[in-house]
Amino acid sequence: MGKKSSDWYIPSDWALQFSLLFVIPVIAILAGVLLPVLSFLKTTDAVMLFYVALGTGVTGSILLFFARLPLYRQRRFGTFGPRELPNLHRKLYWLAYIFVAACILLLAIVWLRTSEFKSG
């Protein structure tokens, strides 16, 4: 037998209610996770945040080197982006950029925390 097409029809107002049923708990869970992290960033020593940022930046740079290693072996140093990388190295490339973005975010937090001591 062949596949049957679905005869289900969900009205748009029901779909909105069901989507809100899932969206609100997701927002609550994210807020429950992110608010303690923001509190930790506010109360933690700036020197420790700097070292964490330095560690994430070094880790991201090392991951980026290993992600681009196939291109380096082909002596293609001028390429930009993960378009010409194999699948595993492409994932490693994006993971490296997540680490670099986290490093930049943490360094911005350190900068803001140290600049408030100078102005106030």
Long-range contacts of 42-46 (CB under 8 A, 24+ apart): 46/110, 46/113, 46/114
Kindly state whether residue 34 falls inside one of the protein's structural domains: no
Q: Are 89 and 69 in contact (CB under 8 A)?
A: yes
Q: Is residue 84 part of a domain?
A: yes
CA end-to-end distance (rounded Å), the chain:
76
Q: Does residue 8 fall inside a structural domain?
A: no
pLDDT score at 5: 63
Give the distance, in angstroms, between the CA of residue 8 and the centroid of all CA atoms in the same chain: 37
Question: Is residue 6 situated within a structural domain?
Answer: no
Domain ranges, residue 98: 45-120
pLDDT score recorded for residue 6: 66
Where is mean pLDDT largest: 5-19, 31-45, 91-105? 91-105
Tokens of 64: 């980026």
Identify whether 118 is part of a domain. yes
Residue with tokens 């994006």: 94
Encoding tokens for residue 74? 């082909």
Does residue 2 have a pLDDT over 80?
Answer: no
User: Is 15 part of any domain?
Assistant: no
- Tens of pLDDT, residues 33-78: 888 888 877 788 888 889 999 999 999 999 999 998 888 788 878 8
Number of domains in the chain: 1
- 85 part of a folded domain: yes
Do the domain assignments include residue 5?
A: no
